Amino acid sequence: MPLRDTKGSPMDEGAAAGGLRNRMVDEQLAGRGVRDEDVLNAFRRVPRHRFCLPETPLRQAYADHPLPIGHGQTISQPLMVAEMTVALGLKRGHRVLEIGTGSGYQAAILAMLAGTVETVERIAALAETAGSLFRELGLTTINSHIHDGTLGWAASAPYDAIVVTAASPEIPPPLLDQLGDGGRLAIPVGSRGLQELIIAERHGPDIVYRHAGGCRFVPLLGQFGWPD
Ligand code: SAH
């Protein structure tokens, strides 16, 4: 998936962003055990600073923590985005569903590694900003939807991978229904303040669950999440 800016010239906004991005990958990801070369390359290519609020200093955009994206929401720490992405085991043709578009950064990373990405966001303003950035960057394999993502996105199911980037009290049943055979779902499950990353994998009618460590996400609000 090629990335471009509006003028069609290479995406990179100069050496500064590229340098910070490579350092982020080397120190925060590879340096902390992310081994998947394709995933590391995806993080080298996607300009994280473009997904941050315009006033965010460039250095902060590549720092080792989550960042505010407006509307009380956040873009996750790079390492968390990487760990969730690795857990999905993405392949080129995979059909992916993301719940919680937010800034669109995770969706852009997914688009580098898989086939089509359906991404669902409940806050229209966030979905619209992310959607225009996808168009600007030439990320044509991402389809963005404004919807309650706890219901999934049935129109394009089944999926090879589903990632939920907001925290839920339980796994929304529609997401398991929309997971294809051999497909994986990554979702933070727990209380509003603290969760555990759960990786669910479908084997025919059976679902196998793996616990992948503690995490903190903003709440998933909706029919099968926290009350709105
Ligand atoms: N993946 C994002 C992180 C977004 S934070 C990124 O890379 O920037 C989580 C997002 O989930 C927020 O934007 C929030 O509005 C959204 N969200 C919460 N509940 C939702 C629901 N039921 N359906 C869709 N999106 C939801």
User: DSSP for 89-116?
Assistant: T--TT--EEEE--TTSHHHHHHHHHSS-
Q: Would you say residue 212 has pLDDT above 90?
A: yes
- Tens digits of per-residue pLDDT, 125-182? 999 999 999 999 999 999 999 999 999 999 999 999 999 999 999 999 999 999 999 9
Residue 150 lies in a domain: yes
Q: Would you say residue 7 has pLDDT above 90?
A: no
Best mutation site among 83, 103, 122, 151 for ligand 1, i.e. most ligand atoms within 8 A of its Cβ? 122
Q: What is the CATH number of the domain that holds 114?
A: 3.40.50.150
Domain count, the chain: 1
Q: Span 109-118, mean pLDDT? A: 98
Query: Could you tell me the pLDDT band of residue 10, with boundaries at 50, 70 and 90?
Result: very low
Q: Span 199-203, mean pLDDT? A: 98
Q: Give the domain range for residue 200.
A: 65-215
Can you tell me which atom of ligand 1 is nearest the CA of 103?
Answer: 8
Q: Would you say residue 5 has pLDDT above 70?
A: no
Tokens describing residue 30: 């590879």
User: What is the pLDDT, as a whole number, of residue 15?
Assistant: 81
- 131 φ, ψ to 5°? -60, -40
User: What is the pLDDT, as a whole number, of residue 3?
Assistant: 78
Residue 209 lies in a domain: yes
Query: Could you tell me the pLDDT band of residue 9, with boundaries at 50, 70 and 90?
Result: very low
- 172 alpha carbon – ligand 1 mean position (Å): 14
- 33 alpha carbon – ligand 1 mean position (Å): 26
On average, the pLDDT of the chain sits at: 95
Look up 103 and say whether it is catalytic: no
- 212 alpha carbon – ligand 1 mean position (Å): 20
Residue 225 lies in a domain: no
Q: Would you say residue 195 has pLDDT above 90?
A: yes
User: What is the pLDDT, as a whole number, of residue 14?
Assistant: 64
In this structure, the residues whose C-beta lies within 6 A of any atom of ligand 1 are 69, 73-76, 99-100, 102-103, 105-106, 120-123, 126, 148-150, 165-166, 218, 220-222, 225
Q: Whose CA is nearest to atom 18 of ligand 1?
A: 220
All residues at 6 or more sequence positions from 99 whose CB lies less than 8 Å from its CB, including other chains: 119, 120, 149, 150, 152, 162, 163, 164, 165, 166, 175, 220
User: What is the pLDDT, as a whole number, of residue 1?
Assistant: 66
All residues at 6 or more sequence positions from 80 whose CB lies less than 8 Å from its CB, including other chains: 66, 215
Q: Would you say residue 214 has pLDDT above 50?
A: yes
Residue 78 lies in a domain: yes
Residue 120 lies in a domain: yes
Q: Would you say residue 11 has pLDDT above 60?
A: no
Can you tell me which atom of ligand 1 is nearest the CA of 75?
Answer: 8
Q: Span 72-92, mean pLDDT? A: 97
